[in-house]
């Protein structure tokens, strides 16, 4: 019944619309005007709307900043993340005024130069000087951004040298769960392969490998000591996943068949971050950020950053692979 | 030259298997818009889920019927809709719909040719496209549902039905449909290139071509060079899925067993995909930029500023678009040095893009802007090109990309800079060349209303997505309610969804205007916008061959608007000088005084 009423209403609206258009056209015709010709008045009106739109657009932008900018990720909890945020900030300092100014000029010109029957447009077809100017200006700005960007990129992507004190953790993604494996006392991860997956050995760790014997496997949540470089090694057992640590400004894809790497140094403990964010329930999370199937939206693992002592205590409680 | 008796041909060959570029253009337009409307409805459906997760909607139940009993969307169907929305919008609406319509309509008319180089291939191009559309739509109805691995269909997710139901028959149809689509695109593009190079009328040198034609030419070249790579990627994926090869698959444990595939790499697929995928962005964007260049110049009654710089920047963009694909893959574990190279090339694109924006602004400066709906949408394009373009400096910079990669920041960025810009260009083109397409005029008032609803809602939908990105919200999540830190964002999602629904309703204004005007709109004069280009010298009525008698010859570039002589008077009494007007003795061509 509802469908029929809606259908009838739609048809009536269409008929009414058609009639209105016809009437408007006939009226214009009777006045000797062409309905598709834009009058000076109409052009002026649209020009004003353009300006109104720009002002509202900026107001909307400001309103969003006030209401939603506060929801952004808290201060970075990793060393490199501070640099990332700084460079992001620098980029915003460049692009925000560009965005506002060029949009402003665009809509202002639309307002200022809307059609008038008495004015002549200026025949101005090119100027090498102007074009050189706005080729050079972005080129200079980009040089700065590229140089800064590449230097941070290289710093972030350089693996931790063996001689530096660090811990190594393997993260394995599979639909729709994460497994962490700590390298243990020997600081070496044992070999692993999908063909070795059997029963409780859900990620296929090679039990014959000496390095694997002291590895520790944890699920649900994993812990990191503050201030210690962490070398992550990523694997996937089935489809692509992406290990995204938003609070640490870190992300790397997990690719079946190969391992990938990323490292960072956590700088703020979970407890401290709870105070910073004023949220007692705050937890660092690892989440999947590459579409991986139906429950992609809920593939997560908690991360606890704590003092070295607490971390050592926690790790000692975890069982080794052979246990 | 034979002309009138073509009308006598029977219905089938006039309207269905037509080889006339104007009819093929209309076929592409209508098919593309219908596909686009479906894509839009899909997005509204999943916006309902994102705004009000887990709630039951009559609209969902009505449109999705037995797929979604009770009107609550399931994660499977959500992903299928996201995938189909992306595929349809990028390929069917903005590639075939946009290029197919305007390259077909404008290339012969603006270069002064009777038709495309091969009318027959042109017809085939449309019918391959049509079959491809039908297969893609059919994939919605097969067991397991439509493809659900995202429009980028990364294996192994897209290769293994065990991984997601949509990777069964739905993905097979997706791949077949896309292969046929690529054939269609190649036939079209080859035709466009050959036609532009060989069938220009007397006097139509390359430097007298309207910028639309330059844009279509570069687009076609991009298509010819990049689409075959996607075809290769798709075929190899077909092999992996159906014939047991391992191009993309290795060491996979799924559904309780280890698969036999070894030695392949999903990263290979990503390289092949994005080798098309990134030029594809410009395949979508360049025609829109070409259309806008033409409209902004004509409607502000000024020559386009920096004609040669515009061509140069389009060439630079087209060239660079082939060496930036890796910026989609910064986080796949690729060699960091390679990442550096891609960062460098990617950010370079900002230079020609900035040149284009400044040239548009200078064209409007001291113009006499006639605000038709086409003008409005062109201005809208410049705005979205700026607003979406600037955030590219964040995403293209590999160090910064780490933290926003695959978040809503990306969704906001590419929808504004590519989606909105391209569709605004397409709308602008439809309003501007409607008189050429249908011999009638569209209603300006409805067009203006359509523009204002669209731009307000479009920014309302996509601008807030940047804030979701700042909060680290990943894209392609069925719901954010599983993460307390994202659940706070629900207000933003509600806001976005409401804007999306209003935007959908706003498009109905356009469709009404379109259909009404095509049949009952006021008859179009030959040159309603006082344009210089050749299509406005052709008679309003359609017949195969475009011009009665001789094809007009061309004597000047297309942008002599408001050209005045030393006395400050219009050179020929009007503020426009068609390309067919011979140069006066003391006149110089190409914008020189």
Q: Give the closest of B74, B302, B489 to A71, CB-based.
A: B489
Can you give the pLDDT at residue B64?
A: 73
Domain enclosing residue A309, as ranges: 167-317
Determine contact: A298 vs chain B, CB below 8 A: yes
Q: Which of B80, B232, B237 is nearest to B156 (CA)?
A: B237
Q: Are residues A60 and A189 in the same domain?
A: no
Same domain, A92 and A135: yes
Out of B258, B366, B470, the one facing A121 most closely (by C-beta) is: B366
B197 C-beta neighbours (distance < 10 Å), count: 12
pLDDT in the model for residue B59: 73
SS3 B362: helix
Distance of residue B118 Cα from the nearest chain A Cα, in angstroms = 36
- pLDDT attached to residue B7: 54
Whether A311 is covered by a domain: the verdict is: yes
Cα–Cα dist A276/A256, whole Å: 38
Q: Of A207, A115, A212, nearest to B299 (Cα)?
A: A115
CA nearest to A287, candidates A254, A316, A238, A323: A254
Of B302, B348, B456, the CB nearest to A123: B302
End-to-end Cα spacing for chain B: 39
pLDDT digits (tens, 9 = 90+) for A136-147: 999 999 999 999
- Express each pLDDT in A258-281 by its tens digit: 999 999 999 999 999 999 999 999
- Which SS3 state, helix, strand or coil, does residue A260 take? strand
A110–B470 CB contact, under 8 Å? no
Least-confidence region, from A121-135, A180-194, B56-70: B56-70
Do A200 and A147 share a structural domain? no
pLDDT recorded at residue B9: 58
CB nearest to A17's CB, from B76, B79, B512: B512
Lateral strand order in the sheet of A260-264: A216-219, A177-182, A167-174, A230-236, A260-264
A148 with A171, same domain: the answer is no
Question: In this complex, which of B266, B382, B563 lies closest to A256 when CB atoms are compared?
Answer: B266
Residue among A17, A110, A149 whose CB faces B364 most closely: A110
> Residue A152 domain-assigned?
yes
Q: Per the CB < 8 Å rule, is A175 touching B163? A: yes
A243 and A295 fall within a common domain = yes
Question: Residue B422: helix, strand or coil by DSSP?
Answer: helix
Better-predicted residue by pLDDT, A249 or A199: A249
Kindly state whether residues A171 and A313 are assigned to the same domain. yes
Chain centroid offset of residue A136 CA: 30
Min CA distance, A310 vs chain B (Å)? 25
Residue B276 is encoded by which pair of tokens?
């098309």
Kindly state the tokens that stand for A286: 């690892």
The single residue listed with the structure tokens 């703020």 is A268
- For B399, which of A127, A152, A240 is closest by C-beta distance? A152
Residues of chain B with Cβ-Cβ distance to A282 below 8 Å are 485
φ, ψ dihedrals at A170, nearest 5°: -100, 130
- The answer, for A116 touching chain B at a CB cutoff of 8 Å, is yes
Same domain, A176 and A307: yes
B164 touches chain A (CB under 8 A): yes
Q: Tell me the pTM.
A: 0.95
Q: Do A294 and B253 touch (CB under 8 A)?
A: no
A141 plus A228 within the same structural domain = no
In a domain? residue A322:
no
A135-150: b or e for each residue (b if 16 or more CB lie within 10 Å)? beebeebbeebbebbb
What is the CATH number for A189? 2.60.40.420
- DSSP letter, residue B568: S
Q: What is the DSSP letter of A179?
A: E
CA distance B538 to B548: 8
CA distances from B209 to A178, B197, B217, B317, B378 (A): 58, 11, 11, 19, 20
For chain B, which ranges sit under pLDDT 50? 1-3
Count of CB atoms within 10 A of residue A11's CB? 10
How many residues are recorded in chain A?
323
Q: How many residues in total does chain B contain?
A: 593
Statement to judge: residues A133 and A226 lie in one domain:
no
Q: How many domains does chain A have?
A: 2
Q: Are residues A264 and A198 in the same domain?
A: yes
Q: What is the reported pLDDT for B5?
A: 53
**Which of A293, A295, A299, A302 should we substitute to test contact with B (largest number of B Cβ atoms within 10 Å)?**
A293
Among B161, B502, B258, CA closest to A203: B258
Segment 525-564 of chain B within 8 Å of chain A by CB: 528, 559, 561-564
The distance of A118 to chain B (nearest Cα, Å) reads: 10
A49 part of contact set with chain B, CB < 8 Å: yes
Residue A102 lies in a domain: yes
Contact at 8 Å (CB) between B350 and A95? no
- Dihedral sign computed on CA atoms, order A248, A249, A254, A258: negative
CB A283 within 8 A of CB A302: yes
Residue B585: predicted pLDDT: 83
Does residue A21 have a pLDDT over 90? Answer: no
Contacts of A43 in chain B (CB under 8 A): 369-371
Percent of chain A with pLDDT over 90: 77
Q: Which CATH architecture has domain B12-537?
A: Up-down Bundle (1.20)
Distance to chain B for A201, nearest Cα, Å: 12
Per-residue pLDDT at A23? 87
Whether A8 is covered by a domain: the verdict is no
Residue A150 shares a structural domain with residue A172: no
Q: Which residue has the tokens 């077949």?
A: B176
Q: Which helix (H) or strand (E) is B27 found in, with range?
A: helix B21-51
Which of chain B's residues have a Cβ under 8 Å away from the Cβ of A126? 305-309, 591
The residues facing A286 across adjacent strands are A301
Strands A260-264 and A230-236: antiparallel
Give how far Cα B79 sits from Cα of A297, B153, B167, Å: 11, 11, 11
Q: Which residues of A touch B482 (CB under 8 A)?
A: 297-298, 300
User: Are A196 and A263 in a shared domain?
Assistant: yes
d(CA B31, CA B95): 12
Which of these, B14, B186, B19, B175, lies nearest to B96 by C-alpha position?
Answer: B186
pLDDT attached to residue B248: 96
Q: Which residues of B touch A82 (CB under 8 A)?
A: none
CA distance B580 to chain A (A): 19
Query: Would you tell me how many other CB atoms lie within 10 Å of the CB of residue B198?
Result: 10
Chain B touched by A295 (CB under 8 Å): yes
Q: What is the rounded CA–CA span in Å between residue B245 and residue B484?
A: 43
* Sheet containing A241-245, strands listed edge to edge, beginning at the edge strand earlier in sequence: A221-225, A300-306, A284-288, A241-245, A250-254
Q: What is the pLDDT of residues B268-279, one digit of tens each?
A: 999 999 999 999
Chain A touched by B297 (CB under 8 Å): no
Query: Is residue A67 predicted with pLDDT exceeding 70?
Result: yes
Structure tokens, B529: 């916008």
ipTM: 0.94
Task: Please check whether residue A12 lies inside any domain of the structure.
Answer: no
**Of A162, A151, A23, A173, nearest in space to A84 by CA:** A151
């Amino acid at each position: 019944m509802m469908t029929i009423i809606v259908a009838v209403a739609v048809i009536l609206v269409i008929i009414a619309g058609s009639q209105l258009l016809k009437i408007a056209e006939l009226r214009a015709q009777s006045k000797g005007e062409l309905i598709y010709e834009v009058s000076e008045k109409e052009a002026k009106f649209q020009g004003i709307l353009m300006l109104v739109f720009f002002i509202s657009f900026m107001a909307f932008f400001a309103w969003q900043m006030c209401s939603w900018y506060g929801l952004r990720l808290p201060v970075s909890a990793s060393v490199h993340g501070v640099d990332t945020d700084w460079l992001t900030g620098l980029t915003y300092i460049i692009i925000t005024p560009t965005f506002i100014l060029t949009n402003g000029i665009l809509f202002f010109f639309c307002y200022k130069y809307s059609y008038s029957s008495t004015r002549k447009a200026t025949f101005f077809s090119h100027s090498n000087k102007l074009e050189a100017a706005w080729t050079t200006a972005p080129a200079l700005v980009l040089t700065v951004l590229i140089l800064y960007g590449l230097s941070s990129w290289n710093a972030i992507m350089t693996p931790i040298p063996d001689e530096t004190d660090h811990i190594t953790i393997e993260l394995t993604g599979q639909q729709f769960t994460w497994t962490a494996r700590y390298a243990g006392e020997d600081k070496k991860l044992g070999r692993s392969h999908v063909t070795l997956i059997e029963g409780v050995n859900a990620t296929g760790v090679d039990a014959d490998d000496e390095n694997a014997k002291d590895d520790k496997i944890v699920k649900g949540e994993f812990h990191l000591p503050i201030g210690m470089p962490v070398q992550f090694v990523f694997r996937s057992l089935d489809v692509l996943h992406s290990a995204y640590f938003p609070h640490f400004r870190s992300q790397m894809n997990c690719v079946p068949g190969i391992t990938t790497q990323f490292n960072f140094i956590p700088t703020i403990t979970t407890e401290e971050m709870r105070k910073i964010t004023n949220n007692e329930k705050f937890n660092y999370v690892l989440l999947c950020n590459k579409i991986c199937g139906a429950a992609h939206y809920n593939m997560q693992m908690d991360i606890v950053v704590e003092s070295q002592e607490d971390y050592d205590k926690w790790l000692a409680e975890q069982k080794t692979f052979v246990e | 030259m034979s002309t009138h008796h073509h009308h006598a041909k029977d219905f089938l060959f006039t309207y269905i298997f037509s080889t006339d570029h104007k009819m093929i253009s209309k076929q592409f337009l209508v098919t593309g818009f219908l596909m686009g409307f479906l894509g839009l409805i899909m997005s509204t459906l999943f916006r309902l889920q994102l705004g009000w997760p887990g709630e039951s909607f009559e609209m969902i139940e009505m449109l999705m019927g037995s797929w979604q009993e009770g009107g609550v969307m399931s994660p499977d169907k959500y992903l299928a809709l996201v995938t189909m929305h992306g595929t349809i919008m990028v390929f069917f609406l903005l590639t075939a719909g946009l290029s197919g319509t305007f390259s077909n309509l404008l290339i012969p008319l603006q270069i002064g040719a009777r038709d495309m180089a091969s009318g027959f291939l042109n017809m085939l191009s449309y019918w391959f496209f049509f079959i491809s559309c039908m297969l893609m739509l059919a994939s919605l109805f097969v067991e397991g549902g439509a493809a659900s691995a995202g429009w980028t269909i990364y294996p192994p997710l897209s290769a293994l039905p065990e991984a997601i139901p949509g990777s069964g028959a739905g993905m097979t149809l997706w791949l077949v449909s896309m292969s046929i689509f690529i054939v269609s695109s190649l036939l079209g593009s080859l035709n466009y290139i050959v036609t532009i190079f060989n069938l220009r009328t007397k006097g139509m040198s390359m430097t007298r071509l309207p910028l639309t034609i330059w844009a279509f030419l570069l687009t076609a070249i991009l298509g010819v060079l990049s689409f075959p790579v996607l075809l290769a990627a798709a075929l190899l994926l077909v092999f992996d899925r159906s014939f047991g090869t391992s191009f993309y698959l290795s060491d996979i444990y799924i559904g309780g067993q280890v698969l036999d595939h070894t030695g392949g790499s999903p990263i290979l697929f990503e390289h092949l995909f994005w080798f098309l995928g990134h030029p594809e962005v410009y395949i979508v964007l360049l025609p829109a930029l070409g259309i806008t260049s033409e409209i902004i110049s004509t409607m502000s009654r000024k020559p386009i500023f920096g004609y040669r710089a515009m061509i140069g920047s389009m060439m630079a963009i087209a060239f660079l678009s082939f060496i930036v694909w890796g910026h989609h893959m910064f986080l796949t574990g690729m060699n960091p040095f390679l990442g550096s190279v891609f960062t460098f090339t990617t950010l370079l694109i900002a230079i020609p893009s900035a040149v284009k924006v400044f040239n548009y602004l200078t064209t409007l400066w001291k113009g006499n802007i006639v605000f038709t709906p086409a003008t409005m949408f062109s201005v809208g394009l410049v705005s979205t090109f700026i607003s979406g373009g600037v955030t590219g400096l964040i995403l293209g910079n590999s160090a910064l990309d780490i933290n926003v990669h695959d978040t809503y920041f990306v969704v906001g960025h590419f929808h504004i800079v590519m989606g909105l810009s391209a569709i605004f260009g397409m709308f602008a083109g439809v309003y501007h060349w409607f008189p050429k397409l249908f011999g009638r005029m569209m209603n300006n008032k409805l067009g203006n209303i359509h523009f204002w609803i669209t731009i307000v809602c479009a920014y309302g939908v996509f601008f807030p997505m940047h804030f979701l990105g700042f909060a680290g919200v990943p894209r392609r999540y069925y719901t954010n309610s599983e993460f307390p830190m994202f659940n706070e964002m629900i207000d933003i999602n509600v806001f976005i969804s409401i804007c999306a629904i209003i935007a959908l309703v706003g498009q109905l204004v356009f469709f009404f205007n379109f259909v009404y005007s095509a049949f009952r709109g006021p008859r179009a004069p030959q040159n309603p916008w006082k344009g210089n280009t050749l299509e406005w010298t052709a008679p309003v009525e359609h017949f195969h061959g475009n011009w009665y008698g001789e094809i007009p010859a061309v004597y000047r570039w297309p942008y002599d608007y408001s050209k005045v002589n030393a006395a400050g008077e219009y050179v020929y009494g009007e503020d426009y000088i068609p390309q067919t007007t011979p140069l006066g003795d003391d006149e110089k061509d190409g914008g020189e005084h």
